[in-house]
Structure 1
Amino acid sequence: MAHLTSLKKSFSNWNHSAPNYQTEIRWLLILTAAFCSFLLIFSLHRYYTFYASYDHGLFNQIFWNNLHGRWFQSSLTGEHTAAAVFQNEIPPINFNHLGQHFVPNFLLWLPIYALFPSPVTLIVLQIGLMAAGGMVLYALARHYLEPTLSLLITAGYFGAHAVIGPTFANFYEHCQIPLFVFSALLAMEKQRWWLFWLMVAFTLGIREDTGIILFGIGLYLVLSRRHPWVGVALCGISFVYVALITSVVSLHFSGNTPPPYMGGRFGQYVPGVESPTTLQVLWGMLTHPLEVLKSLLTPFDRRLLYLLGHWLPLVFVPALSPASWVIAGVPLLTLLMQSGMSALVITLRYSVAIVPGMFYGAILWWASQSQRPISKPMMQRSLWQTLRFTYRTRQLTPTFRRFWVVCISLSIISATLSNPNQAFYFLLPESFHPWLHISLPRQWEHSQVLRDMIQVIPADASVAATTHLIPPLSSRREIARFPNLQLQDEQGQVKTMEYAVADLWRINQYQPLFKSEHQRLSLMIARMDEVLTQKTYGLLQLKDGVVLLQKGVPSQPEPLAAWASLRLELLASLETTTLKRRRASQQ
């Protein structure tokens, strides 16, 4: 946190009367470099100690397949299809990811990946895109504000929980949102309409549901009367795009079967439908208003804490800005109306969709009277202009400036202490009851075992791997998640993976904490018993709870004897966890 201390001193000594262009650019670069360095160090450590997980490998496999002309294909995406989830069908090798999420923008970054074809490239790309979004935000803020305010808003972005947390995650499409949305808003302010519509196209190309963000911007342009016809066009294009992609285009790639995540997130509005389309969900919301109201308001404490997390790095200004409520409010509604816990976890990727509206609204709130988009006499003001307190003067006092730096610092501290996406697993316990803490030396020791095991597997071999071993093995055509050992080829023939590698030690560490890991470990033990009894696979190596299997070879005597001992140990651990949970439920 050393850069926070220097940042605070610099703001205290800032010369407001004579801002220097070179000085402000230097501080912008310092902020950007501090953000990139902080994120890059711990993100790379997270990857190399095997805490990157399934989705990072999935997206790396898509990039790798694109590089080899198999456009958007992924055997890992195939495990998320409705057929695999609901009918337990064997996933296809060549499933097209566009049937799950429409992500044509990946082609923009393919030349970079072609130069450095590695899962690590996606980590650097994600951090770079998020950092570039912050630099465009600074340019957007400078359109209205003086350097100190602009730097504070940019520092708030780099210190935001909703920026730090998702950037530490596996690579996701959402990392493009700040860059393209802030660029669209800047082009709108400069009235560079060709650039505005180009950024709109790039925003839509991020993912099928990013049209919701643009719908919020369009709604703001209509209500504020700044560019009402542009706003109407933007709302119309966004709505038609989302409906068309999710109801027609994606179905073409997925074999006319909607992705199962729609039912998982919005199933309460369409009871009895396993995989609803977007239009079915919208109709379900209209016909179930009480269910919608319940989703919006409860649980209230989680919703309030989520908003406070977004407001903190901007000293709660977005709570007072109507523009923030309108622009960020539209994607926020889609999160509030989802079922489950993940939608309102600020460290997850969904939070990035809220960021542009929060920060743009804060910029407009701070803009002086002469700079604001609309300024009219009292009798000519609309309700929107009245709510914006158009004639109220806002000044950045030294006291408030110091308070802002404190809020940014608190946001960074809270983001770090929350252990976003397990980036700081070694600093704090993952759980106090039951106790779970993996020390850095222990994980480094275990990581070396994992690296040694992976190096045995040929680069072109098909492989099944547990979740956290998928990313480093994902630059290949055929990869599945263990205990699944089979995929369908292009002709529909079932193929059994040549190798299987499983980190049972890690899963055993986490199974007392997560029921899903408890169940997964049970399935893995059963699968090991099955393939070793049938001699489908031979056990090549077993070390530190990591097993390496190869199809069609005999098991080595020493690893096989070690497996018998490890199996008993794992079964005893599962039984202990089951008894503890049973006692806890009876109390």
Structure 2
Amino acid sequence: MQKKPLLKIEASSASNLVFRLAGIFFILCLLFTLHRYYSFYASFDQGIFNQVFWNNLHGRFFQSSLSSSLSTNVVHAGEIPTVYYHRLGQHFTPALLLWLPIYALFPSPATLTVLQVTLITAAGLVLYILARQYLKPSLAIMITASFYAANAVIGPTLSNFHDISQIPLFVFTLLLAMEKRRWWLFWLMAILILAVREDAGVGLFGVGVYMVLSKRFPRAGIGVCILSFGYMLALTNLIMPLFSKDISQRFMLERFGQYAEGEEASTLEIIWGMISNPVRLLVELVTPIDRTIKYLLGQWLPLAFVPAVAPASWMIAGFPLLKLFLGKGESVLAITIRYALTVVPGLFYGAILWWSQHQQKFTPSFRRFWVGCICVSLFFSFASNPNRTFYFLIPDSVNPWVYVSLPRQWQHVEQMRPLLAQIPQDASVSATTYIVPHLSSRREILRLPVLELRNDAKQVIQVDYAIADLWQLQKYQAAFKSDRRLLQDLTKLIDQVSNNREYGIIGFRDGVILLKKAANSDTQATAAWLQFRQQLQLKKQLAT
């Protein structure tokens, strides 16, 4: 007679514990990500998504001058960035419109940061409900704790806002709807997953394969596979090219150019390139071996390596993993950036199903091992300093020493804000990477050293203002070649446009320079700039 009340108490206590775990994750991630934004460490992608949301709010759907600067027309053909460029040619992301009402209430780049943390936190709660369909509360808690401690979850959550942050919530909800046979919700989630971005169907295809191979829902699974694969092919070959040629001339080649010939390739051509050369496919799949193994171990670690032996994990997560392993570039095997999130749902669902058949293995000794794995995962999540979130605790480089203390960075921010306040809200502007997000709620914005864009009248203009954080580049140039090159390029650019009076130097504070088109240079600001420039030259001479 007492068993049922005890079970209810256990379930109730478990739910309270899960909410506490979610609350801790939410508060800490929100604290660190907002601090990252307000201390000017959020970077270019945060600006891109904020400008997209801002343009959406003003009826210019998915347009972005910042995205235009990354388009194939600009990067490869040398054209001028445009304000009316449609980002849907790069990434097809209509699901972002779901969150436009929230952005309309709080139109700020910080809103996107809050939204991202909220989406990931909510995904963990849905995961717990999903785990409870099969597992007792103690195991479901461990699964949820593993999610919130996973490096592949923490890293992307602490990054700039990105569209993939929607994937865990949508996929966990889809799987929960499948378990409860709520097919209207299942198909709604399937559509939303496809709407996240053009390659989100890869993960959905994995779900369909599981539904077929497990023989649980074979007919629905076939439908999911046809829907996801057909949608991706139609989208990337027919719809996205209507907006721009980026998918064939840039993104396919940057990620999968080793399977194609020529200067452009469609998804069909890439797939055929893979199929027609199986040896190259196999080599790309397993190399580099050390990084591939390290990536898998990092994904499995918070779940005590159970996904490695869970068939369902391989069925579902295998396809997103295949997409990453077959691609090229440093980012595909980086566990702290957004692409790692696409693998997470399949791994965790597969672990749930494995434990449902092996609950007797959840012994006190294995529980201690699992807790140890979670702790190690948390340690690596912190030590990897994802997206420089913990820049004030962990140096970016030891030899040479590169470190910015918290008081010094906030002192720098306070010096920068008066210069930002001088830029009118409707003015066109070009800024360095970490300033871009804070100025991105406008129609005309670029990243330095670019100064020209094509406006709505289709006229090429120079931006009204340019602002550069040279102090930040100066701090990091010792360890990062890209920062050193950019600092040199910007120094030459500032000398050029100020000497020929295209722009006047109207402000200089703590290594941050503000220029205005066709303005007379301020005497004190110019003197401060020349002194700073002299210091740069002296340090360069000492270094050589």
**Under TM normalisation by the shorter chain, which class is it?**
over 0.9
Select 1:263's aligned residue among 253, 256, 273.
Answer: 253
Q: Residues 393 and 47 of structure 1: is their aligned pair in 2 closer, same or farther, counting only changes over 3 Å? A: closer
Match for residue 302 of structure 1?
291
Q: In the TM superposition, what are the counterparts of 1:153-172 in structure 2 within 5 Å? A: 153-172=143-162
How far is 1:255 from its partner? 5.8
Worse-superposed segment, 40-49 or 219-228: 219-228
**TM-aligned CA deviation for residue 493 of structure 1:** 1.0
> What amino acid sits opposite 1:505 in the alignment?
W
| Aligned counterparts of 2:448 and 2:542: Cα–Cα separation in 1 | 24
Separation (CA, whole Å) in 2 of partners of 1:128 and 1:318: 26
* Bigger mean CA offset, 506-515 vs 176-185: 506-515
User: How far apart in 2 are the matches of 1:156 and 1:44?
Assistant: 24
Counterpart of 1:413 in structure 2 is 379
Shift of 1:221: 1.4
Q: Give me the whole-angstrom Cα distance separating, in 2, the residues matched to 1:85 and 1:262.
A: 15
Report the TM-score, using the length of structure 1 for normalisation: 0.89
Cα distance change on mapping 1:239 and 1:574 into 2, 3 Å = farther
Q: CA deviation at 1:569?
A: 2.8
Give RMSD over aligned pairs: 1.6
Q: Any unmatched runs of 5+ in structure 1?
A: 1-14, 369-391, 580-587
**Which residue is 2:416 aligned to?**
450
The answer as to 2:186 corresponding to 1:196 is yes
Measure the CA separation in 1 of the matches of 2:81 and 2:434: 19
Q: CA deviation at 1:121?
A: 0.4
Mapped to 2, the partners of 1:34 and 1:503 lie a distance apart of 34
Residues 107-128 of structure 1: CA deviation (Å, up to 9, x unaligned):
1000000111111100000000
Q: Match for residue 60 of structure 1?
A: 50
How far 1:182 moved relative to its partner?
Answer: 0.4
The structure-2 alpha-carbon separation of the partners of 1:490 and 1:276, relative to structure 1 and needing over 3 Å to count, comes to farther
1:435 aligned onto 2:401: yes
Structure 2, unaligned runs of 5 or more: none
Map 1:28-107 to 2 at 5 A: 28-107=18-97
Equivalent AA in structure 2 for residue 111 of structure 1: P
Give the deviation of 1:364 after TM superposition: 0.2
CA distance in 2, matches of 1:282, 1:120: 39
Moved more, 156-165 or 293-302: 293-302
In the alignment, is residue 545 of structure 1 matched against residue 506 of structure 2?
Answer: no
Structure 1 residue corresponding to 2:470, chosen from 504, 507, 511: 504
- Compared with structure 1, are the counterparts of its residues 262 and 522 closer, same or farther at alpha carbon in structure 2 (3 Å cutoff)? farther
Query: Is 1:343 matched with 2:332?
Result: yes
* Deviation larger for 290-299 or 236-245: 290-299
Residue 404 and residue 256 in structure 1: after superposition, are their counterparts in 2 closer, same or farther (change >3 A)? closer
The answer as to whether partners of 1:508 and 1:573 remain within 8 angstroms in 2 is no
Please state if 1:135 is matched with 2:125: yes
* 1:393, distance to aligned residue in structure 2 (A): 6.2
Residue 232 of structure 1: how far off its partner (Å): 1.3
Partner of 2:267: 278
Letter in 1 for 2:450: N
- Using the alignment, how far apart are the partners of 1:260 and 1:138 within structure 2? 40
For residues 124 and 563 of structure 1, what CA distance do their matches in structure 2 show? 37
Alpha-carbon distance in 1 for matches of 2:421, 2:189: 43
Deviation at 1:257, TM superposition (A): 6.8
Deviations 1:240-277 (A, max 9, x none): 1111111111111116873512211111111432x422
Superposed counterparts of 1:139-288, under 5 Å: 139-254=129-244, 258=248, 260-273=250-263, 275-288=264-277
CA distance in 1, matches of 2:31, 2:258: 41
- Could you tell me how far apart the structure 1 residues matched to 2:213 and 2:85 are? 43
Tell me if the contact between 2:396 and 2:402 (Cα under 8 Å) persists in the aligned partners: yes
The aligned residue for residue 583 of structure 1 is none
2:317 to 320, 328, 353: 328
Rounded Cα–Cα distance in structure 2 between residues aligned with 1:426 and 1:271: 46
Matched residue, 1:366: 355
Q: Deviations over 1:492-532 (max 9, x none)?
A: 31011111100011112222322222222222112112211
Instruction: Tell me how far apart the structure 2 counterparts of residues 413 and 207 of structure 1 sit (CA, whole Å).
Output: 31
Q: What do the CA deviations read for 1:415-455 (whole angstroms, capped 9, x no partner)?
A: 01110111101111111122211111111111111222111
SS in 1 for 2:515: strand
Secondary structure, aligned partner of 1:541: strand
Matching residue of 1:396: 362
Percent sequence identity over matched residues? Answer: 50
- What's the offset of the Cα at 1:28? 1.4
Could you tell me which amino acid in structure 2 is paired with residue 66 of structure 1?
N
Distance 1:407 1:333 in 2: 25
**Structure 1 residue 469 and structure 2 residue 435: aligned?**
yes
2:346 is aligned with what amino acid?
G
User: Which residue in 1 is equivalent to 2:487?
Assistant: 521
Give the match's secondary structure for 2:508: strand
- Judging changes above 3 Å, is the alpha-carbon distance between structure 1 residues 158 and 110 closer, same or farther for their aligned structure 2 residues? same
Structure 1 CA distance for aligned equivalents of residues 412 and 184 of structure 2: 53
2:303 is the counterpart of 1:314: yes
| Aligned-residue offset at 1:567 | 2.1
Aligned length: 540
Cα displacement (A) at 1:17 = 6.2
* Structure-1 separation of matches of 2:420 and 2:22: 35
- CA apart distance, 1:544: 1.2
Distance in 1 between the 2:268 and 2:534 partners? 51
Structure 1 residues 73 and 216: alpha-carbon distance in aligned structure 2, compared to 1, 3 A threshold: same
Structure 1 residue aligned with 2:533: 567
SS of residue matched to 2:426: coil
Q: TM-score, normalized by length of structure 2?
A: 0.96
Which of residues 346, 352, 355 in structure 2 aligns to 1:357? 346
User: Compared with structure 1, are the counterparts of its residues 17 and 492 closer, same or farther at alpha carbon in structure 2 (3 Å cutoff)?
Assistant: closer
Helix, strand or coil: the match of 1:124? helix
Q: Give the match's secondary structure for 1:170.
A: coil
Q: Is the contact made by 2:416 and 2:510 (CA closer than 8 Å) also made in structure 1?
A: no
Report the Cα offset of residue 407 of structure 1.
Answer: 1.3
Return the alpha-carbon distance in structure 1 between the equivalents of residues 328 and 495 of structure 2.
37
Alignment correspondent of 1:585 = none
Q: Distance in 2 between matches of 1:548 and 1:456?
A: 9
Q: Would the alpha carbon gap of residues 393 and 466 (structure 1) be closer, same or farther in structure 2, given more than 3 Å must change?
A: closer
Tell me how far apart the structure 2 counterparts of residues 75 and 66 of structure 1 sit (CA, whole Å).
13
Taking the aligned partners of 1:409 and 1:65, their CA distance within structure 2 comes to 42
The superposition leaves residues 3-55 of structure 1 with CA deviations (integer Å, 9 ceiling, x where unpaired) of xxxxxxxxxxxx98664332122111101100001101111111111000000
* 1:575–1:335 CA distance, 2 compared to 1 (3 A): farther
Q: Which amino acid aligns with 2:400?
A: P
**Distance verdict in 2 for CA 1:256–1:47, change over 3 Å:** closer
Are the aligned partners of 1:302 and 1:344 in contact in 2 as well (CA < 8 Å)?
yes
Superposed displacement of residue 573, structure 1: 4.2
